[in-house]
Chain A
Amino acid sequence: DVKVTQSSRYLVKRTGEKVFLECVQDMDHENMFWYRQDPGLGLRLIYFSYDVKMKEKGDIPEGYSVSREKKERFSLILESASTNQTSMYLCASSLLGTGNTIYFGEGSWLTVV
Chain B
Amino acid sequence: TQLLEQSPQFLSIQEGENLTVYCNSSSVFSSLQWYRQEPGEGPVLLVTVVTGGEVKKLKRLTFQFGDARKDSSLHITAAQPGDTGLYLCAGRGSNTGNQFYFGTGTSLTVIP
Contacts and interface: CB of A to CB of B under 8 A. Distances in A.
Interface stretch (B56-64, B71-79, B90-98): B90-98
A35 interface: yes
A95 to B, nearest CB: 9
Interface stretch (A61-69, A78-86, A96-104): A96-104
B34 to A, nearest CB: 11
Contacts of B9: 40
Given A42-B88, A98-B50, A98-B92, A107 B102 contact: no
B18 to A, nearest CB: 25
B100 A102 contact: yes
Contacts, number: 61
A24 interface: no
A102 B90 CA distance: 10
B50 A107 contact: no
Given A101-B33, A102-B90, A42 B42 contact: no
Contact of A101 (B45, B50, B99, B105): B45
A94 interface: yes
A25 interface: no
Range of interface residues on B (Cβ < 8 Å): 20 to 34
Contacts of A48: 98-99
Contact of A45 (B42, B44, B97, B99): B99
A102 B31 contact: no
B31 A31 contact: no
B44 A104 contact: yes
Interface string A33-74: 101000011111100101000001011000000000000000
Interface of A: 4, 31, 33, 35, 40-45, 48, 50, 56, 58-59, 90, 92, 94, 96, 98-99, 101-107
20 contacts: A4-B42, A33-B100, A42-B88, A42-B102, A43-B88, A44-B102, A45-B99, A45-B101, A48-B98, A90-B42, A96-B98, A98-B31, A99-B33, A99-B50, A102-B45, A103-B45, A104-B35, A106-B40, A106-B41, A106-B42
Given A92-B42, A99-B30, 5 more contacts: A31-B98, A35-B102, A45-B100, A94-B98, A98-B50
